[in-house]
Amino acid sequence: MVSELVRRNVEALTGMGVDYEIILVNDASPDESWHAIEQECKKNSKVKGLNLSRNFGQHYAITAGLRYTTGDWVIVMDCDLQDRPEDIPALYAKAQEGYDIVFARRVVKHVGWWKRFSSVAFHKVFDWLSGSHSDPTIANFGIYKKSVIEEFNNMPEQTRAFKFLLEHLGFKRTCIEVEQAERAEGESSYNLGRLLKLSFDVIISNSNKPLRMAVGLGFGMSMLSFLLAAYNIFAKLVGIILVEGYTTTIFSIWFVGGLLLFVMGILGLYIGKIFDQVKGRQLFIVKDKINID
């Protein structure tokens, strides 16, 4: 698939009459991807390879590739050929109208109902928590001006989510509609566990609304406790309560215990992200480089 990816990209870029480089990042793929990248780099010096020391994850691999780009315009795309290289000329042409970012909006997605549902659900929850508006049909595929990539590279966040970090940068942007192809081979590595982890990471890293919700829950708990106390006083006076304090005590213990654990869990997630950030570890480690000075 690597050779087909390179061939189609070279055809698209050569047809545009522009100088180009193709940076292929191997994120410790278990197959023979790095060997295939080495072969392509030998054939064409404009094809460059990065081999990471271990699997860091998709968005860290994107970050690695962007650190080594030198062009005035940068295309970000996946290697599974669902993002079609033949759409690059249209993205570039749209960018020449004065845009810094041109996203590719996928109008056809060859995915199952569960993945489609989970994607829409994630974006709905994220929009509600962050107060922003994200488009589930837009992923990483797009063209980005050099100044955009430079500012992206200056962002020190340990939690990387390419599209959502771009939202913070601003810049003049638009999108064009493209057709998403079927996956050339294999299956996506994003299982339910990885999707949930990515969702939590993105939401916690981009929104403090969960903390505000915890404050609201605490206030609501205080009001409920006040109402329960008032009811118990009234029930005691009129003789409704037969076993004094039993129901209220059990209810309060379970309710308050669950609420405290919930709030502590939210705080723990934020503290964990702070811990990851202050360690200042590398976002990625490059083991091998080919055709890169």
The answer to whether 81 touches 184, Cβ cutoff 8 Å, is yes
Q: Could you give phi then psi for residue 174, rounded to 5 degrees?
A: -155, -170
- Residue 51: what pLDDT? 92
pLDDT of the chain, 293 residues: tens digit per residue: 788 988 999 999 999 989 999 999 998 887 788 998 999 899 999 999 999 998 888 888 999 999 999 989 999 988 888 888 899 999 999 999 999 999 988 876 556 666 666 667 766 766 666 556 667 777 889 999 999 999 999 988 887 878 888 888 888 989 888 887 665 555 555 555 666 666 667 676 666 677 777 777 777 776 777 777 777 777 767 766 556 665 667 666 767 776 777 777 777 777 877 877 777 778 888 898 998 87
Count of helix runs (H) and strand runs (E) in the chain: 10, 7
- Residue 152: what pLDDT? 92
Sign, CA dihedral 221-223-226-227, equals negative
